A and B are shown apart, each in its own frame.
Chain A
Amino acid sequence: MTRLLAALVFTALSGTVLAADAESVLRQSHPRATPEEWRTRLEQDRVQALCSRYRNRPPAGVAEEIAKSESESFRYPESGRLMGDWRAGEKLAGIGTGGHIGRIQPDPPGRRKGGNCYACHVLAPTEVSAGNLGPILTGYGNRHGHSPEAQRYTYRKIFNPQAYFPCTSMPRFGHNGWLTPEEIADAVAFLLDPESPVNR
């Protein structure tokens, strides 16, 4: 029992030491990163740190804690409309540029950041160049309808998917400020609107 405890303590400690070593290596490898780049791009928030530590398979208690904290992050469009313009949403789904930094190939300042949904999801069946890191979303609106509940659920899932799936691969588009609430509402329309090619 004592030996087991000692082993457990050692494992926990070596994990902590290793993480600290990795942090210091990372810091030394980016001597030119600005404080703002550090804060927004390299330093981890609590959720990122937990998901890294558990390699995206958090134990039940940790998953619960993440779902709870992330459920408090939602912000909505000022108009209150959670379903915007599906055409704008479709456009957003195909844009994979924006937000690149560095000296070699940065994006020009102000370049629009897309949602790049097609990188990971099949959406409109006519777009064959679609990735498979996430589930197939063709016909999503036909399955969910577009009731206020369906709109709110879909909006929240794009705004912060970790509220529903702790440590999912999907970015927290709204929480991280990558997309605006209005852009997320357009993506909701692309998924739910009966006229959208996703549902036709």
Chain B
Amino acid sequence: MAVAAALSGLALALPSSVTGQERSASEEIARYRQMLEDDNPAELTELKGAELWQTARGPRNVSLERCDLGQGPGVVEGAYAALPRYFADTDRIEDAESRIVTCMVELQGFSRQEAQEGWYRAGSDVEALVTFVAGQSRGRRIEAAATHPREAELLAIGEELFFRRSGPLDFACATCHAQDDRRIRLQELPNFTDAASARVSMTVWPAYRVSQSAVWTMERRLVDCIRQMRHPEPEFASEAVIALELYLQHQANGGVMQAPGIKR
């Protein structure tokens, strides 16, 4: 550090107290995560989701067990790891959130509005159902194939949006998430332009967020990122959100799913 500073002609090195304290802060968080790993509150959310999945509900009083998440009706295992993907029946690219809502509408007879009501609130049905579905991909490799022409097109749009700067702070996702080893305050930032870093991040979402006392799905996480950039909120399950998710999952292809994880 001091050598680097001297080389770059700066008569300045980071005070050692800072590096020491920083390291210990990261270590503390890592220790805390490990402590919680055996006892993640998200497990309760997953159980709640499993129950919702199997319970006959809605105007038609049927369960979600015949839902087609892309691997065929009733196949939940491994489905999350292959999303978002193109679905011929809706002629849309759907992620876990939007596909579950589609099933609630098509199978159970809920209105779209009822199905996604309060999706962003702690304890919502969407949160629980997505967490259950993601848990059924534990140990499976992320494979956002993007081989269908519509998927390839949305993937390119997602990448375009990732680098798109706008708003009062001139921010894009790439402002914080396109370099290695960067932090906002002490919060480490994944570099989504790097496969290894993208995998570390994407394999643990949905995740229990300690600061929120809630499990957050990827959509919930992205909408908050966008809020922090001071941009307007995109709609739930809108194409811009799914395009970004497709780009991020595709960047993380090959990573082994471990969701639900634990985050700050």
Q: List chain A positions with a Cβ less than 8 A from chain B.
A: 18-19, 21-22, 25-26, 28-33, 37-38, 40-44, 47-48, 51-52, 55-56, 99-105, 118-120, 122, 125, 128-133, 136, 138-139, 143, 169, 171-172, 176-178
Contacts and interface: CB of A to CB of B under 8 A. Distances in A.
Contacts of B163: 52, 55-56
Contact of A18 (B120, B160, B182, B228): B160
Contacts of A37: 232
Given A29-B241, A101-B232, A41 B156 contact: no
22 contacts: A29-B238, A32-B232, A40-B168, A41-B168, A43-B166, A48-B170, A52-B164, A52-B165, A99-B230, A104-B120, A104-B227, A118-B185, A119-B185, A122-B14, A122-B18, A128-B22, A132-B181, A133-B175, A133-B183, A138-B15, A176-B169, A176-B170
A133 B182 contact: yes
Contacts, number: 149
A52 B233 contact: no
Contacts of B120: 104
Interface string B226-256: 0110111111001111010000000000000
B261 to A, nearest CB: 22
B182 A177 contact: no
Contact of B14 (A40, A43, A136): A136
B230 A44 contact: no
Nearest to A177: B168
Interface of B: 11-12, 14-15, 17-18, 21-22, 25, 120, 153-154, 156-157, 160-161, 163-172, 174-176, 179, 181-187, 223-224, 227-228, 230-235, 238-241, 243
A55 B175 CA distance: 10
Contacts of A119: 184-185
Contacts of A103: 233
Contacts of B165: 44, 48, 51-52
A148 B179 CA distance: 35
Nearest to A172: B170
A107 to B, nearest CB: 10
B167 A40 contact: yes
Contact of A133 (B11, B184, B228): B184
The 9 residue pairs across chains A and B that have the minimum distance between CB atoms: A29-B238, A29-B240, A102-B233, A22-B160, A171-B169, A33-B232, A29-B234, A48-B165, A41-B167
Given A30-B238, A99-B230, 18 more contacts: A18-B156, A18-B157, A18-B160, A21-B156, A22-B164, A26-B164, A29-B241, A41-B166, A51-B165, A101-B230, A101-B232, A102-B233, A104-B120, A128-B22, A130-B185, A133-B184, A143-B12, A171-B169
B18 to A, nearest CB: 5
B178 to A, nearest CB: 8
Contact of B223 (A21, A104, A176): A104
Contacts of B235: 29-32
B183 A131 contact: yes
B166 A44 contact: yes
Contacts of A52: 163-165, 172
B232 A42 contact: yes
**Most A Cβ at <10 Å: residue of B22, B168, B239:** B168
